[in-house]
Amino acid sequence: MAKEEKKGDKKILKKLTVLLWVGFVLIFVGFPVYIWAVSSNMSNLFGELPSYSQLENPEQNLSSLLFSADDEILGAYYRDNRKPVTYDQLGPNLINALKATEDIRFNSHSGIDLRSMLRAAFGVLTFNPQGGGSTVTQQLAKNLFDTRVIEEDEKGKLEGINRMLDQLIYKTKEWILAVRLERSYTKDELMAMYFNQVSFGNNTFGIQSAAESFFNKKPKQLNVEEAAVLVGLQKAVTRYNPIRNPENSKARRNVVLNQMVRYGYLEKAAYDTLAPQDIVLDYNAQDQNFGPGQYFRAEVQKDLIVIARDLGYDLFADGLKIYTTIDSRMQRYAEQAVDSTMRQVQANFFNSLKDGNGNIREPWIDSDGRVIKDFLQDQVLPRTERYRSLEKEYGKGSDSIDYYLNKKVPMKVFSWKGEIDTVMSPMDSLKYYKHFLQAGFMAADPHNGEIKAWVGGIDYKYFKFDHVRLGKRQAGSLFKPFLYATAVEKGFSPCYEFVDQPITIPIPGQSNPWSPQNSDNKFSGEKMTMKTAMAKSVNSISARVMDIVKPDNVSKMAGRLGVESEIGPYYSIALGTVDVSVKEMVSAFGTFANKGTHIEAHYVTKIEDRFGNVIWSKVPQKKRAISEDVAYVMLNMLQENTTNGSGIRLWSEYKITNFNQTENSVGSKTGTTQNASDGWFMAVTKDLVAGAWVGGDDRAIHFRNWPDGQGARTALPIVGRFFEKVYKDTSINLQKGVFERPANLQMEIDCQKFQDILAPQDTTSGSTIYDPEIY
């Protein structure tokens, strides 16, 4: 009996030994085979892993960054708001917080931390979780390659059958990828990749966007408690969001800080001080509706999409670096100038619309001051996107269109006192917004064509249309320098005299002649020089000059100087009846300041890929438009407008020059169109040209009183305030100075000297007879 029991014990022992050996073989031989099977996707059972080339160049949606000329970030273009940083840009607080919380042995393991894995497994078996076993590298692999989000056609045969089996396969893939990543990158590179890849909620991807969004800082500037908040988010971005769940976020932050104490990254005394404190945010939403240069960023984006696509890049995913000509300081001053001026102009506009009872009347009026009947319904509404979409959905003339256009809904609306929560119908809001005047402003360096500031409207969030490049309105008297430049090029001195008197010009091919009026409908009968006539915008003399030089030549002159819009050869263009943009006019006036050479106005200098390689650069076109002599004479004529014309506020109020312009030459010109629908102002200095336009969204929207809508009252203050701030900022280093006179100027521009050598007078025309010998 005893022998049989011993024999049975031996059999059991033998079986146990076999089982142990089988287990040993399965674990120490089978596991590597299993790893090999997953790694090679044997028989397509497990799904493909990223290739080694993908490991070397992982696909990331990286924000493309827009830089100013003074190296400030103006904005970003992205699908995922992710701005990459290097390890050196992280700072010790972030690195230490992450190691202490997620992977204390990060520097010593090779992608997999066996101690952490065993601790996590033991916690699961004993129903006492001790934290996750994933290393930072494993988490990076998971985030970088979406190991748990797999398209149907990419799944292995075993995937999707059982949840536990899926978890095992996913985890195995992360182990394999973690080891491969460790072999491909240094620890510093892996740390930077992790912080660049992970999400922090609130549409922020990567530590740079997160630091900017939550604390308005760069990553390296984060203090230890701020770093702890962001690292703590990695456990659950919604649950520990400091905006939505501040108490949860505070508790999680303290867990991170406690871990830092545990591993020697933070003193206990510091923890005791920080732990009770609430989280202090400086939240800045990462949105294209906010930040500097919103109109500029939106306009340049259109060009960048095409450039990037032609080069084989994706603007919104490839992490390009776009270097612009914009000066962030000038841009800030330009936006401030537009803001402060338009607040005043809008208040004046509302006052001009008030009736005797103080009620604001509708601003769409005809030349006789009468409200245009059904203006919104007939002329404005059909152009709106909402109307077109409703018409497409319900059909033209459908009652549903009227229903939805007049249905009141809660909305936020713009006001100069801040956003207002209200209830309006779309029709009400359309009427409301048409009461606001708009503005466009641009400044550029005339010597290289670089645009330094660009403000396309009063508020990009509510008014998306850009009034610098897209908006084209009649120039009024701002166009007259092109007329006079044509005359000067033909040999007419600015001292050449004409009489301000009625003029009638027969128009070839038309039955009615052209008989222009002055803006005040009066003629002084005075004799005045071309210089004075341009400064005072005397239409009768402009018409007489046009009759001499002819429209075709003036049209060509404008084109040579930089106006790209089509300008017909009509006599009326002498009075500025042509549609032009702010960008065109600043560029054209810059030709005068650049001694007659026109340089293409541009706003991007170069584009780099994510690795710093230049993939595109701008070479602006330049051409000789007029001679240096003609350019200087025109600057001299424009200076007269600053000294004695409509630009006198530049020296009397804004102090950007003195009366005699001995310290700083400033040429200028205003423009005001019929019914004061458009107000323009342009200022030219030796190194910077700036121009502004102010008006309604539609030409029918204008001041009831013509003087209130003049460019000298609406647009000039924008330019004046801009230059005032720019000159005061010594960091910009914009130097004052006088226009350089050509060494051998052939034309006499001193009108007193010119009078001494006058030719005989033509008493019938009231003008000095042109004699080539005196020039």
pLDDT tens readout for residues 501-543:
999 999 888 889 999 999 888 999 999 999 999 999 999 999 9
The tokens describing 182, both together, are 């460790």
340-382: pLDDT as tens digits: 999 999 999 999 888 888 888 899 998 788 899 999 988 999 9
Both 573 and 628 in one domain: the answer is: yes
Structural domain tally of the chain?
3
262: domain range?
82-285
CA torsion sign for 603, 606, 607, 612 is negative
Considering the domain boundaries, does residue 30 fall inside one?
A: yes
Shared-domain flag, residues 443 and 572: yes
Are residue 35 and residue 107 in the same domain, yes or no?
no
Q: How confident is the model at residue 17 (pLDDT cuts 50, 70, 90)?
A: low
For residue 125, the model assigns a pLDDT of 44
Given 285, 315, 349, the domain boundary residue is 285
Rounded CA gap, 217 and 223, in Å? Answer: 10
User: How far lies 693's CA from each of 225, 299, 520, 548, 634, in Å?
Assistant: 48, 18, 22, 30, 22
In whole numbers, what is the pLDDT of the chain averaged over residues? 87
- Sign (positive or negative) of CA dihedral 635, 637, 638, 639: positive
In the chain, the largest separation of any two C-alpha atoms, in whole Å, equals 153
Judgement on whether residues 166 and 35 belong to the same structural domain of the protein: no
Domain-located, residue 296: no
Scanning 645-710, the segments in alpha helix (DSSP H) are 649-652
118 and 32 fall within a common domain? no
User: Does the residue 257 lie in any domain?
Assistant: yes
Residue 416: pLDDT band (50, 70, 90) is very high
Q: Which of 263, 285, 307 delimits the end of a domain?
A: 285
pLDDT, one tens digit per residue, over 716-743 is 999 999 999 999 999 999 999 999 999 9
Q: Answer yes or no: is pLDDT of 490 > 80.
A: yes
State the Cα–Cα distance between residues 46 and 38, nearest whole angstrom: 6
Looking at the domain assignment, is residue 480 inside a domain? Answer: yes
CB 444 within 8 A of CB 596: no
pLDDT tens digits for range 582-600: 999 999 999 999 999 999 9
Task: Work out the percent of the chain whose per-residue pLDDT is above 70.
Answer: 84
First vs last Cα of the chain: how many Å apart?
141
The string of pLDDT tens digits covering residues 430-487 is 999 999 999 999 999 999 999 999 999 999 999 999 999 999 999 999 999 999 999 9
Residue in the structure block whose two tokens are 């394999």: 176
Structural domain ending residue among the three candidates 285, 308, 327: 285
126 and 257 part of one domain:
yes
Closest CA to 604 of 467, 451, 471: 451
Give the model's confidence band at 139: pLDDT under 50 very low, under 70 low, under 90 confident, else very high: confident
Q: What is the DSSP letter of 165?
A: H
DSSP class per residue in 745-761: --S---HHHHHHTPPPE
pLDDT tens track for 55-77 = 666 777 888 999 999 999 998 89
C-alpha–C-alpha distance, residues 354 and 336, integer Å: 28
Distance CA 646, CA 640 (A): 9
| Least-confidence region, from 108-117, 490-499, 557-566 | 108-117
Tokens of 449: 């064509």
Same-domain pairing of 32 and 104: no
Report the candidate in 661, 650, 644, 638 with the shortest Cα–Cα distance to residue 717: 650
Domain match, 18 and 162 both? no
Q: Which of 174-188, 363-377, 548-562 has the highest mean pLDDT?
A: 548-562
In DSSP terms, 365 is beta-bridged to 371
The reported pLDDT for the residue numbered 84 is: 84
Q: What is the CATH number of the domain that holds 113?
A: 1.10.3810.10
Q: What is the pLDDT of residue 44?
A: 55
Is residue 669 domain-resident?
A: yes
**Prediction pTM value:** 0.82
